[in-house]
Structures are given as C-alpha cells and as structure tokens.
Structure 1
Amino acid sequence: MKWVEKTAKTIDEAVEMALQELNITKDNVDIEVLEQPNKGLFGLIGTRLAKVRVTIREEQKEELPIVEKINNEEDKKKEKDIAYKFLREVLNCMDIKAEIKIKYKETGLYINLIGPRMGMIIGRRGQTLDSLQYLVSLVVNKNKGKDEYVRIVLDTENYRKKREETLVRLANRLAERVVKTRKKVELEPMNPYERRIIHSTLQNHPSVFTYSEGEEPNRKVIIACK
C-alpha cells in the first residue's frame, strides 16, 4: 500500500503536498488526519502543524507508473512457503486444524484459513487474527528493504469483509449522531486498517470530519463537526 505523510500549517495544504508527491487526484486516495493544527498561545507557544496521511486506494494502483520492485516468481514462491510454514507451526501449537490457502495478488499476499474452529483464530473483534497477520508480515518481510515490502492479508470465514461492512455502518450511524448533537464522538481503539475504513467512509461527508489521536495500540478515531 503506497502512502505518504505530510505536515503543513493547514490540513488542506498538507493534503495538497501529498497529492503532488503521489501525482494523483484527491478522488483516488484516502485521507487520514493524524494531527489537527493548533495556533498555540498568542500564536507562539505550543504551535502545532497539521499532519495527514494520504493513501492510494487499492483499485488505483494499476493506473500508476510502476516504481516499486516486482518480485519474480521464485521470490513469490519463497514468500508463500515462508508464510505457510510459519502459520502451520503456529496452528499446530494452538492445536487447530485448518487448511491454509495462499494466493499472490498484485497488491500482496492473501492468506485464507479454512477449518472448524476459526472463532479462536479471529478472537475478540478480530484481535487474534490481526496479531497473527502482523506476525506473518514480520516473518515474510524479514531482511527486506522498504521497496520490497510485501503486504499480508490474513482472513478466515470472510471476516475482513464482514468487519468492513460493520465499520461502514458504524461510521455512518455515529456521523448522524454528531450532526444531531453537535458533539464529537470518540471511537474505541482500532488498528490502522480499521481506522482507514472509518476515515474513508466519512471523508466526503458534508457535515463531519475525522482524525486520529493517541498512540498505538490505543490510537482511536474521532468524528467531529466541521
């Protein structure tokens, strides 16, 4: 996933800088406000710049010039083998029998687990699945450079899609509450993937905007009135 972070006096300026660097239009990206600008006391003390992360949407990647290293078939096979071996060892330790299906797509390595006890793999709100995905990513990308990074997506029972649909509904419902009450809403801590779903869902909303605050793993999304 290609993204850049920019800081400027205003959010619009930071976004424009990011768009220029990515050479893409605003319609084809997701925008996450990392820090709100603050003029500080008397415009001098405690001044803080706006900071944004602008991420190219997956469907736009094929239209962009190819600037990253493309792994050859041998590299892909090696990465699939590493992911499979690691997952098999972890599942054996958890005493979970599951079929591991791995498919290389243009945007990364997609892994699907199929078995009778997938609830244990998913965990509370997907936390176990996210943790396992993170570990697989660490193992596969060990000793790789930034331009060689392989995106890993681990899923089971179509959980990712179901979770995304749930978050989209949640974002829209909370946005309505913010518009009615004129009070900001603070969501529970989420991982970066889930925060992007909230930001993307509401980025074109006429009455609210979103930003993230806090440190990982307790970073959360705030929905507020424009």
Structure 2
Amino acid sequence: MTKVVATGKTIEDAVEQGLSQLGTSLERVNVTVLEQPSKGFLGFIGARKAKVELTLLPEPAVDETKAAESSHMQDAPAQSVKEEHPVEQPSAAAAAEPASTIDPYEEAVRFVRETAAGMGLEVEVELRHGKDESIMDISGSDLGMLIGRRGQTLDALQYLTNIVANRHADGYVKIVLDAENFRLRRQKTLENLAERLAAQVARTGKEVILEPMPPNERKTIHAALQRHAEVRTFSKGDEPNRRVVIAKK
C-alpha cells in the first residue's frame, strides 16, 4: 500500500490516522489536503471531517556498486592466510564528527515545496531566522488554496512542517509559515475585531464569546485588549474548541 486517504476531526488527526495505516513517519510521505473540516450548521448539521491523502515516497535508491561489492564479498571463499596490516586510528576530531548531518530547515523547506506541489502549486520559499523563531515566507500564484479559510490550511501546514523540522533538530526549533503577508493582515483583522467587540461589551454590559481560535490568534485578542479600561478577556474550553471571552470589568 503506497497511498491512503484518511479522515479526522482536524487535519492533524487525519494525518496521524494515515501515518498509522501506512506504518510510517511524516518525512516518508507527501500530504495533500483534500477537504477542510467543517462544523456544519448548529455544530452538527452538515458537519464534515478533515480528509487528507498520504502518498508514500519511494525508498532511496541502493548504491549498485556497493551492493555488488557486498555480494562479491559474501560469495568469495574464506582466505586461509591472514595478512597483518597496521590499523590506522581515526583522529579525535574525525571520531567526534557525526557521520551525516541533516539540516532541519532544509528538510522543512523541502517538505513545504513538495506539499505545495502535491496541491498543484509551484512556490518559492524564503527563510528568515529570528531570535525565538524562524519565518518561512511562501510566494507564488493561487496561494489562497494554501492559506485556506481564515488561515486553517496554512496553520495545518505549519504544524506538519514543525514536526518534520524537529525530527532532524538537536534542540527545539519553531517555524512560522506565512504567505502573501497573511499573518500580518490576519493580526490587523483580529485587532480591529477585538476593539469593535470591546466597545459593544462596554456599551451593553453583555459578554461576548468568540468562535474557537488557535492559540496564536487568542493571544492577539488578549494583547489587543489587555490595557482596555472597561473590559477584560479570558479563555475557556478545551482545544481545539477553546474560545476567547470578552466581558465587562
């Protein structure tokens, strides 16, 4: 089996289901998002699970020369005479050097490009390193498909990209994916929403419960209103349905 279609409540759940069916790890597959999850009307009518397609990548090609040499050594008769040769001891520097080093950021960039290609998109990726996180800027045409509704597809791809990168990192690395400056535009939208709802709560005295948001978006709402004179904010519920509440002080 080289390809499976899996479903789950979230894209992450669907990917985990697919990996379990294939019996492999994330870096050995291409992931294509077929359907975004939807809660449906009133939370259950017409609700739809996330659906992804996982395609197993081909195994790395075996070095035919080494394979032939190995086969020859196995078939050759044992020598009755042993020749003594001095064994050259490796230097301390050579012994300390790892046999191979995989750059987690290169693997992350490769994963994003291959995933985009699986969606029929040709993209360019620019990586910028910051103090606490690295920003991966994605450019190309028709990136709306990669961003998804309110950034849901971009968030899911970011989650998977961080899994791939951290499989090859010595320490924890954090990568933030952005496309067409979506993150900044989304931040401005949320800040404007927070101010508008805060004014409503201050006027009516009735608290407002926002729709479920990922942690980074909830943080934006909290930060926008933390110094507000008339309202306060807090979060309630469990992931992935955790919500921000704006209430009168």
TM-score norm. by structure 2 comes to 0.57
Query: Residue 80 of structure 1 aligns with which residue?
Result: 105
> What pairs up with 1:110-189 in 2 under 5 angstroms?
110-142=135-167, 148-189=171-212
Q: Which moved more, 1:123-132 or 1:76-85?
A: 76-85
Give the aligned length: 149
Shift of 1:214: 1.0
Shift of 1:143: 6.7
The separation in 2 between residues aligned to 1:151 and 1:101, in whole angstroms, is 15
Shift of 1:77: 8.0
Q: Which has the larger radius of gyration?
A: 2
> What pairs up with 1:18-33 in 2 under 5 angstroms?
none
Query: Residue 230 of structure 2 aligns with which residue?
Result: 207
The separation in 2 between residues aligned to 1:144 and 1:181, in whole angstroms, is 51
C-alpha offsets along residues 28-82 of structure 1, whole Å, 9 cap, x if unaligned?
xxxxxxxxxxxxxxxxxxxxxxxxxxxxxxxxxxxxxxxxxxxxxxxx9812211
Shift of 1:168: 0.5
| One-letter amino acid of the counterpart of residue 142, structure 1 | R
| RCO higher in structure (CA 8 A, sep ≥6) | 1
Helix, strand or coil at the partner of 1:139: helix
Structure 1 residues not aligned, in runs of 5+: 1-75
Query: Residue 119 of structure 2 aligns with which residue?
Result: 94
Change (3 A) 1:77 1:200: farther
Q: Match for 2:220 among 192, 197, 212? A: 197
Shift of 1:107: 2.0
TM-score norm. by structure 1 comes to 0.63
Shift of 1:141: 1.6
Runs of 4+ in 1 over 6 A off after TM superposition: none
